[in-house]
Amino acid sequence: MNWFQSSKDLIAIIIATVAVLVSLATVIMQRRQERRAAYREIYTALMSDDLHKGRWMIRKVSEPGDIPKDELDLRLIYRTLGVFDNMAMFARHKVVPLKWVLEVWHHPLNEMRKGVGIIRKSAKESNGTSAAEPWPQLWILLDKAQAYHSTLPCCPPDNSWRGRIRRSAVPSRWRRRPRTRSDAAGRPTA
Ligand SMILES: [Zn+2]
């Protein structure tokens, strides 16, 4: 009887533990799905025609005189920066995967960096915004993007020890292909 009772208790404990683990795994999977859906949503917004145009307008700003005078264009630039600031906030609060944000956006963010700085300074000087520091979270993301080095061929090879460790952790099919002699000589490879 005693043996029966103790095995019953053990089985009950095992069942309860499995139930807790299953519900924990479900919560983690659900959270991952939600993060991916949130990323897809913000990606679709950023790739819409108008925000795409806004991003290219920001890229073209290399001095204060390049900032569009047209009010609609300026509003589009502010809206684009607002959505990027929002993406930075989502990444900071882990609503979207930061790794995905940086992997996809590190080059576009670096290309925007100078323009964003000039627009931000101009917005503060002209009282175009009541914020003391407009788009503050975007700056955190811009700094992260500047320091980011992808293991994909979009970035030059990072031969620091950190870069080597990161590269070795990437599945082989995603790794940069080694340069062949004919690549180095500028000739097309076979
Ligand atoms: Zn890159």
pLDDT digits (tens, 9 = 90+) for 4-51: 777 888 999 999 999 999 999 999 999 889 989 999 999 999 999 999
| pLDDT of residue 167 exceeding 70 | no
CA distance 52 to 107: 14
| pLDDT of residue 2 exceeding 80 | no
| pLDDT of residue 172 exceeding 70 | no
Residue-range domain boundaries for the chain: 34-174
The pTM for the full model equals: 0.74
79 alpha carbon to ligand 1 midpoint, in Å? 26
CA distance 150 to 154: 7
Q: Please, which residues have CB less than 5 A from ligand 1, an ion?
A: 150, 154-155
| pLDDT of residue 90 exceeding 50 | yes
| pLDDT of residue 131 exceeding 90 | no
146 alpha carbon to ligand 1 midpoint, in Å? 10
Using CB atoms within 10 A of its CB, is residue 167 exposed (0-12), middle (13-18) or buried (19+)? middle
